[in-house]
Amino acid sequence: MAISCLQPLFLLLLLRAFASLPTQAAARGGSDSSDDGDHRSFSRNLLEDKPHITEEMAHGYMSNTELETAIHTFGNRCSNISRIYSIGKSVNDFPLWAIEISDKPRQREAEPAFKFIGNVHGDEPVGREVLMHLADWLCDNYLKDPLATLIVENMHLHILPTMNPDGFALRWRGNANKIDLNRDFPDQFFSVNNDINYRQPETRAIMNWVKQEHFMASASLHGGALVANYPWDGTRDTSKRYYGCPDDKTFRHMASVYSQSHYNMSLSKEFEGGITNGAFWYPIYGGMQDWNYIHGGCFELTLEISDTKWPKAVELPIIWEHNRMSMLNLLASLIKSGVHGRIFAADTGRPIPGSVMIKGIDSKVRASRAFGDYHRIIVPGEKYEVMASMEGFRPKSTHIVLEQEAVSLDFILEPDRADGQMKLLYNDDNGCPCGNSKMFHVQEAHLWLYLLVVCVLLTLYLVFKRKGASKLLTYKYSPRRPVAV
């Protein structure tokens, strides 16, 4: 049902009121809950901050300062495969530290990039601890374990252990301004978050991060349920129903990879197969995963990894073990499957930042500006028509059969028109389509040199012609050997 443009105020109030509605929400929205082991459905309240987090409950969890120390300690210990950097600061000025893990962590490469984000909600700290376990495991097992080596050498993994350090310190769900960060992103259906002046610094940091990095996929870790959630998170008419995105089949596959590799997520009786469409579970607006998919071309999952939002610290190693193979297999699947390649201009041989589409799926994946590389996730075991395109070039398509292994597919696009290709081919690294002025001046100089040579040759021709044709006719031509180029 279409929403009338005469109802914006009503919709704004309605969306803000969702926080007070009872629903079957968990970490994306819920109070803490208990599970008696039989995976029965239980009621959750959307934005309640309870139970009250006592110091006894928090005992054994790293404080923000301890987490910061652990991140830098990891960077020093594993400097050969890691880089530590900050993507911004929280409301209370705490750095949002990220870890990059790769065999070449300080270089741009034509490899897929993935990000894990933990602690989106301040009262869901399990992701902080699990992500540090993941980083340590990769460092300890690189060149020893085939899976660790595959991941480190074939992708750039970025880990943000805490997106909401202030909420964690304050022991509540939102950030220091009491804003739910998973409702603070621009939404595809409603303009409730479009005013950048009201956007939280943590949200802005994530949005800038996505624009800077060429992420293929990502996942955020939450607590309060045990399920892999995928887009869409909301519906156009705010109803609670299944609402799949164009890549619904691919998202179901990604969520299933995680769930099936988990200790018991796929056994859930609340969520069939341990996965769920967000809008079918309960709709939210301004969520991070939908924004990533729409604006970043980044396929993001929301992973609920613990039925209890704040379990005892002694249980954290067990939760890590239950999720370890899920995290590793999700990363490995992005390397070992899908279609990967680069896009080049036929006339220059240079990489270009074109787009790749799959026939029948209304979404694009953009190639990077630096290398023209793209990484497209699709479900194995099917036939696809893959098309590459870019403004100023003729599109090109081909058919592939994707088995269980990845397909490498490069595209060489022919310029569509001479006037349009120059400004597109020579974009600078900042994406300025103003043309490369240095290249223009070089080509202009070549043109003048060419004209000068023509004039000199013409002059020599006239001089020799005056000396008589007989001498020219008796000149013997000696052929040259070809020059290798």
304 given a catalytic annotation = yes
Q: Can you tell me the distance from the alpha carbon of 242 to that of 232, in angstroms, rounded to the nearest whole number?
A: 8
Q: Can you tell me the distance from the alpha carbon of 3 to that of 154, in angstroms, rounded to the nearest whole number?
A: 45
Nearest to 96 by CA among 200, 187, 17: 200
Name the phi and psi angles at 397, rounded to 5.
Answer: -135, 160
400 CB-side CA count, 13 A = 24
Nearest to 200 by CA among 179, 223, 172: 179
> Token digits for 465?
């012609």
Q: Can you tell me the distance from the alpha carbon of 367 to that of 393, in angstroms, rounded to the nearest whole number?
A: 15
User: In sequence order, which residues have a C-beta less than 8 Å from that of residue 413 and are 6 or more positions away?
Assistant: 343, 344, 345, 346, 352, 354, 388, 389, 390, 393, 394, 395, 396
Considering 304, 382, 414, 444, which one is annotated as catalytic? 304
Which long-range contacts (C-beta less than 8 Å, at least 24 apart) are formed by 60-65? 60/312, 60/313, 60/314, 60/316, 61/125, 61/128, 61/129, 61/313, 61/316, 62/128, 62/129, 62/132, 63/169, 64/94, 64/162, 64/165, 64/168, 64/169
Q: Can you tell me the distance from the alpha carbon of 303 to that of 229, in angstroms, rounded to the nearest whole number?
A: 6
Listed in sequence order, the DSSP H helices in 213-308 are 248-261, 278-281, 288-296
Name the phi and psi angles at 27, rounded to 5.
Answer: -60, -35
Count Cβ atoms below 10 Å from residue 297 Cβ, excluding itself: 22
End-to-end, the C-alpha distance of the chain in Å comes to 64
Nearest to 342 by CA among 259, 412, 391, 426: 412
| Count, residues in the chain | 485
- Residue 398's DSSP bridge partners are 386
- Residue 342's DSSP bridge partners are 373
Count Cβ atoms below 10 Å from residue 322 Cβ, excluding itself: 18
What is the residue type of 294? I
The catalytic residue positions are 304
